[in-house]
Amino acid sequence: MAKRDYYEILGISRDAGEKEIKRAYRKLAMKYHPDRNPDDTEAENKFKEASEAYEILADQSKRAAYDQFGHAGVDGQAGGGFGGGGASFSDIFGDVFGDIFGGGGAGGRGRNTRGADLRYTLELDLEEAVKGKTVQIKIPGHRECEVCDGSGAEKGSSPETCGTCKGMGQVRMQQGFFTVQQACPTCRGSGQVIKSPCKACHGQGRVQEEKTLSVKVPPGVDTGDRIRLSGEGEMGIDGGPPGDLYVQMAVREHSIFTRDGRNLYCEVPISIVDASLGGELEVPTLDGRVKLKIPPETQTGKLFRLRNKGVSPVRGGPAGDLLCRVIVETPVNLTKRQKELLEEFQQTLDGSNGTEHGPKKTSWFEGVKSFFDEMKF
């Protein structure tokens, strides 16, 4: 009997893409699958025909041979549905239907599952972050149960091979008219069942235990940096390796300094007199106090840079600077005498001696004047 054209069987055009081929085959397979059409020879033949067409057209090299030479180009290469040569039916099956049932492998947790990673937020003071510190942290964890040596079975007994899956951990399940592999529901994939569970750990094989770890925080860390402690995460399942612990840095706000990368900033209040006459100030650094020379006629907001008094970055490179911004303070709680002195002082600033004493004031008034002139009030 002459074979029908594969494209015609699947009802697709000759330039159909991979997805279109799959879709067409899936539709036909659903319709003509023998499980859905028991004792229907015609349906079975249609199913075989569609499977064969799919097997050829889904394979790039077979499809190319078919396009060039027709059935002669691929003769004997197709399995023709069940059995036969070429790819087995389950291969096609897994390929086409895998996305419906969530992949070819069995679901659920298998054996030797790696433990989960844990995250711990470590709060540090700025000084600790800058200079480094060894910190003891307590994290929740598990350890192997000593009573049952981690088996989960009561003393004198041991876990038995699961009868449902015969220790395979996986079972074949009928899902509609398809057979799929799944994690065994009886033993949840472990392949073993515990008839009389250990009382100390309720059959878990492990017990909760807070553990104390010593974390060496290197100098120069900043918020967001993290340290990985390999193998300090959650215990693995059924002998799987443990996860990792990530210690995440969170640096607390400081009362004096703010940090921007490797530089530190601080504000230093100075009196109107020190600002005018100049002087020496004591400013704080993370290494203690240092002297800072203020020149005469220092204006408020001026930034003074103290080289290398910032932070040495944890990833290397030169230390940053400490930037001190001076803030000239207006005196408060003045006595009568102090007020008199200021008034007296004020009278000397009237410019009658031909000298300007307010460096910003003159240009500011000029700016305001020209602004109003332009507005033409």
Using the minimum distance from each CB to Zn ion, give the nearer residue, 197 or 242.
197
Least gap, CB of 198 to Zn ion (angstroms): 3
Measured between alpha carbons, how far is 281 from 297 in angstroms, rounded to an integer?
A: 15
Tokens of 272: 């109107």
14 C-beta neighbours (distance < 10 Å), count: 11
Least gap, CB of 151 to Zn ion (angstroms): 7
Q: Which stretch binds Zn ion (CB under 5 A): 10-18, 53-61, 147-155, 310-318?
A: 147-155
Residue 130 sits in the site that holds Zn ion (CB under 5 A): no
Using the minimum distance from each CB to Zn ion, give the nearer residue, 207 or 213.
207
Residue 183 sits in the site that holds Zn ion (CB under 5 A): no
Q: Which of 56, 122, 165, 314 binds Zn ion (CB under 5 A)?
A: 165
Q: Which of 106, 122, 198, 314 binds Zn ion (CB under 5 A)?
A: 198
Measured between alpha carbons, how far is 300 from 132 in angstroms, rounded to an integer?
A: 35
Least gap, CB of 236 to Zn ion (angstroms): 17
298 C-beta neighbours (distance < 10 Å), count: 19
Q: Which stretch binds Zn ion (CB under 5 A): 193-201, 246-254, 269-277, 344-352?
A: 193-201
Strand-by-strand arrangement of the 263-271 sheet: 258-260, 263-271, 322-329, 303-306
Q: Which of 147, 173, 268, 319 binds Zn ion (CB under 5 A)?
A: 147
Query: How many CA atoms does the CB half-sphere of 23 hold within 13 Å?
Result: 8
Q: Which of 118, 183, 201, 270 binds Zn ion (CB under 5 A)?
A: 201
Q: Which helix (H) or strand (E) holds 213?
A: strand 206-217
Residue 50 has φ and ψ, to the nearest 5°, of: -65, -40
Measured between alpha carbons, how far is 226 from 263 in angstroms, rounded to an integer?
A: 20
Greatest alpha-carbon span in the chain: 123
Least gap, CB of 180 to Zn ion (angstroms): 16
Q: Which residues are within 8 A (CB) of 348 and not within 5 positions of it... i.e. 6 or more apart?
A: none
Least gap, CB of 145 to Zn ion (angstroms): 3
Residue 164 sits in the site that holds Zn ion (CB under 5 A): yes
Q: Which of 148, 217, 245, 270 binds Zn ion (CB under 5 A)?
A: 148
Residue 237 sits in the site that holds Zn ion (CB under 5 A): no
What 3-state DSSP class applies to 88? coil
What 3-state DSSP class applies to 2? coil
Query: How many CA atoms does the CB half-sphere of 182 hold within 13 Å?
Result: 14
12 C-beta neighbours (distance < 10 Å), count: 18
Q: Where are the beta strands (DSSP E) in 221-287?
A: 226-229, 245-251, 258-260, 263-271, 279-285
Residue 235 sits in the site that holds Zn ion (CB under 5 A): no
Q: Which stretch binds Zn ion (CB under 5 A): 28-36, 87-95, 131-139, 140-148?
A: 140-148
CB 126 within 8 A of CB 190: no
Helices (H) and strands (E) in the chain, counts: 9, 15
Q: Which of 9, 145, 217, 326 binds Zn ion (CB under 5 A)?
A: 145
Count of residues engaged in binding Zn ion, rule: CB under 5 A? 12
Residue 106 sits in the site that holds Zn ion (CB under 5 A): no
Least gap, CB of 33 to Zn ion (angstroms): 29
Q: Which stretch binds Zn ion (CB under 5 A): 123-131, 134-142, 159-167, 329-337?
A: 159-167
Q: Which stretch binds Zn ion (CB under 5 A): 199-207, 239-247, 282-290, 313-321?
A: 199-207
Q: Which stretch binds Zn ion (CB under 5 A): 52-60, 164-172, 289-297, 331-339?
A: 164-172
Q: Which of 135, 173, 200, 215 binds Zn ion (CB under 5 A)?
A: 200
Length reported for the chain:
377
Measured between alpha carbons, how far is 80 from 46 in angstroms, rounded to an integer?
A: 11
Using the minimum distance from each CB to Zn ion, give the nearer residue, 146 or 287.
146
Q: Which residues bind Zn ion (CB under 5 A)?
A: 145, 147-148, 162, 164-165, 184, 186-187, 198, 200-201
